[in-house]
Structure 1
Amino acid sequence: MYRRSFLKEITLFAGACLVPRIHYGMEEATIMTVAGPIKSSDLKFTLSHEHILVDFIGAEQVNKNRYDANEVYNTALPYLVDAEKRGCNTFVDCTPGYLGRDVQILKRLSVASGMHIICPTGYYGAAKEKYVPKHAYTETAEQLADRWISEWRKGIEGTGIKPGLIKTGVDKGPLTSVQKKLITAAALTHLATGLTIGVHTGDGAAAKEQLEILASKGVAPSARIWIHAQNEKDLQYHIDAAQRGSWVSFDGVSKDSAKDHISFLQAMKREQLLHAVLVSQDAGWYHVGEPGGGNFNPYHYIFTDFIPALKENGFTQQDVDTLFIANPAKAFTVGVRTTAKNK
């Protein structure tokens, strides 16, 4: 059943291999949010990697009965409203299935805060695969892709809410067999949906291996976001990935990391590669299982401290707009990107 459905999807989108982007009959470039599609031009200041709710109990124990949805909503809303008042227009929640994803809470928060919120499909294969469901070990990449494609076509968990990206994760290279399968499934899902692939990545070797897997399926580097590129201290990996066309995301911006993040961005600017960079905080985190969700990390540091620090270190307002407005709008636009454009 999975294979028949998957092959049907691939047939429907067979033309995708002929062009770098397809917008599925939509007149304008489109991004999918939890409230439905928006024009890419409507995406303004974007926090491209954040979280609302996470549950680290493990894939086989995660359950929505483990938390009070209203408490999560009431806890997170003031922080989102604060970010919106500071100028944030769009918020990407990078929590995939089996790690605490709750799209109904996200939609409520989007409506109440006035912000666009984007959520993912996909499975998180990092952390030694603790958050990978058992069926991922026995099913093929095609079968996993079919599950994720179904969320794009029909909505997530019967809600009708559709994902706006594919989120997966791997540890340091070399990748395990299951992690390779997840990247392959993400490639197949991209070809059938046009959703961008965001990959939590342990190091530069793993990031490079991902691109090799994607290329083997005909997926262009521009369809991949290297999440947590700051974990790799060898700048050449960042430069090489961006020059190949991949998005390079420096996440986890905070008081403790700001100096390193500015150094990474300065290196990318020297190489004239800021057009391939995303920046975010990886903040939030209502922790299921902790009283009141534990310590919720606010979303304001980029606005109050980091952007002023960038400007003190030679970055212009145009650079800031590139990092937080232009680049996210391109990165999250729905469209198939294939290696065919390079042939």
Structure 2
Amino acid sequence: MKQLFTTLGPRSKAELGMILPHEHVFVDLRTPDKEGYAQADVAEVVALMAPQIEAIKAQGVTALVECSTGGVGLRVDFDLAVSKATGFPIVVPTGNYREPWIPDWVRAASEDELEAWMHKELSQGIGETGVRAAWIKVSAGDDGITPLESKILRAAARAAKANDAVIGSHTIKGRVVMDQLDIIEAEGHSASRFISIHTQAEPDFEMHKAVAARGAWIEYDNLGWVPDEESVPLILKALEAGLGKQLLLSHDMGWFDPAKPGGGEPRPYTHLVGSILPKLRAAGVDEAMIVQLTEINPFEAFAR
């Protein structure tokens, strides 16, 4: 049976409804060598972020995917604390971001060592938290994947294959996504277990279709960052192109930022349910497709 691994343990499809596939509870976009990187008071994180979780619980959202990864402040202990405070499951990754957000130990590690690290976090748990990573989050440079990023991706592909895990990548250019899919397939993993994060940032819609044709998930995750007049037509265009069963929708919002006093001002995760879905319904998208986009697709993408 497929299960989605969360901070509150594994969940079956029957136990879940709407899932937000790309959000952040805690992020530090400073590089790991900066003083105070990824440090905060857990009580302050909970105080700032728990109300954001409660707001989406009230909308009927049943889980959220944390997309902060190694190099940009992944703190599973903070995710777990917020999760326990709200009784809300959070899905966390293993993996590491792109250059220059790669810590020295990842830079120095062999592919085998990186594979073993990710395999352990997927199969046993992350650090002392007891929380198993559900997936692997990586990234690639806008101008192309670097040798170091390729090393991480090859290790990720092997660890993901061993655990039937999905790999999601912050990748802006569709042609770079294609290169990543080549690497993943060369390592024996499936393109269908890859999420092209930030697909909407690729201006050529034909690349959206090409990535989907490889079998990968495409993700439009800037909802609320741009006007709905931009987001909704793009979603409708993807549905008209038959991409509905491979499309993920989210905000890329949150989050507690330790570089700012008190964590800064979080941006809510409520725009999809509060604004986008009503407009999709008004445009003629039926309820079955709404369920496909908000419940079925995110579960199928991240469950294993």
TM-score normalised by structure 1 residue count? 0.84
Q: Structure 2 residue aligned with 1:177, among 119, 128, 147? A: 147
SS of residue paired to 2:61: coil
Partner AA of 1:179 in structure 2: E
1:214 aligns with 2:184: yes
Partner AA of 1:138 in structure 2: A
Q: Structure 1 residue aligned with 2:255, among 285, 290, 307? A: 285
Partner AA of 2:66 in structure 1: D
Aligned mates of 1:244, 1:130 — CA distance in 2:
29
Deviation at 1:260, TM superposition (A): 2.6
Give the aligned partner of residue 61 of structure 2: 88
Give the aligned partner of residue 164 of structure 1: 134
Summarize the alignment of residues 295-334 of structure 1 with structure 2, pairs less than 5 Å apart.
295-334=265-304
- Cα-to-partner distance string for 1:66-110 (whole Å, 9 max, x where unaligned): 311100111000110011011100110111123222212212222
Task: Assess, with a 3 A threshold, how the Cα gap between structure 1 residues 77 and 269 changes in structure 2: closer, same or farther.
Answer: same
Q: Structure 2 residue aligned with 1:106, among 56, 79, 82? A: 79
On the 8 A contact 1:67/1:289 being kept in 2, the answer is no
Partner AA of 1:258 in structure 2: D
Q: Structure 1 residue aligned with 2:90, among 117, 122, 126? A: 117
Deviation at 1:43, TM superposition (A): 2.7
* Structure 1 vs Structure 2 CA RMSD: 1.6
Deviation at 1:173, TM superposition (A): 4.0
Give the aligned partner of residue 193 of structure 1: 163
Summarize the alignment of residues 135-154 of structure 1 with structure 2, pairs less than 5 Å apart.
135-154=105-124
Aligned mates of 1:255, 1:309 — CA distance in 2:
16
On the 8 A contact 1:103/1:119 being kept in 2, the answer is yes
Deviation at 1:331, TM superposition (A): 0.5
Give the aligned partner of residue 223 of structure 1: 193
Aligned mates of 2:38, 2:137 — CA distance in 1:
24
1:67 aligns with 2:22: no
SS of residue paired to 1:208: helix
SS of residue paired to 1:218: coil
On the 8 A contact 2:38/2:258 being kept in 1, the answer is no
Aligned mates of 1:277, 1:153 — CA distance in 2:
27
SS of residue paired to 1:213: helix
Q: Which runs of 4+ in 1 moved over 4 A?
A: 62-65
Aligned mates of 2:20, 2:255 — CA distance in 1:
14
On the 8 A contact 2:27/2:72 being kept in 1, the answer is yes
Aligned mates of 2:233, 2:301 — CA distance in 1:
23
SS of residue paired to 1:286: coil
On the 8 A contact 1:123/1:168 being kept in 2, the answer is yes
Deviation at 1:62, TM superposition (A): 6.7
On the 8 A contact 2:193/2:216 being kept in 1, the answer is yes
SS of residue paired to 2:267: coil
Deviation at 1:245, TM superposition (A): 1.2
On the 8 A contact 1:62/1:100 being kept in 2, the answer is no
Deviation at 1:255, TM superposition (A): 5.5
Deviation at 1:187, TM superposition (A): 0.3
Give the aligned partner of residue 12 of structure 2: 39
Deviation at 1:312, TM superposition (A): 2.3
Aligned mates of 2:137, 2:57 — CA distance in 1:
24
Deviation at 1:146, TM superposition (A): 1.1
Aligned mates of 1:253, 1:65 — CA distance in 2:
26
Give the aligned partner of residue 24 of structure 1: none
Partner AA of 2:139 in structure 1: G
On the 8 A contact 1:53/1:286 being kept in 2, the answer is yes
Task: Assess, with a 3 A threshold, how the Cα gap between structure 1 residues 318 and 187 changes in structure 2: closer, same or farther.
Answer: same
Gaps (5+ residues) in structure 2?
Answer: none
Aligned mates of 2:101, 2:232 — CA distance in 1:
32
On the 8 A contact 2:122/2:135 being kept in 1, the answer is no
On the 8 A contact 1:90/1:117 being kept in 2, the answer is yes
Larger RCO (CA within 8 A; separation ≥ 6): 1
Aligned mates of 2:51, 2:262 — CA distance in 1:
14
Task: Assess, with a 3 A threshold, how the Cα gap between structure 1 residues 257 and 203 changes in structure 2: closer, same or farther.
Answer: farther
Aligned mates of 2:300, 2:35 — CA distance in 1:
33
On the 8 A contact 2:31/2:100 being kept in 1, the answer is yes
SS of residue paired to 1:115: coil
Aligned mates of 2:243, 2:38 — CA distance in 1:
45
Count, aligned residues? 304
Aligned mates of 1:292, 1:89 — CA distance in 2:
27
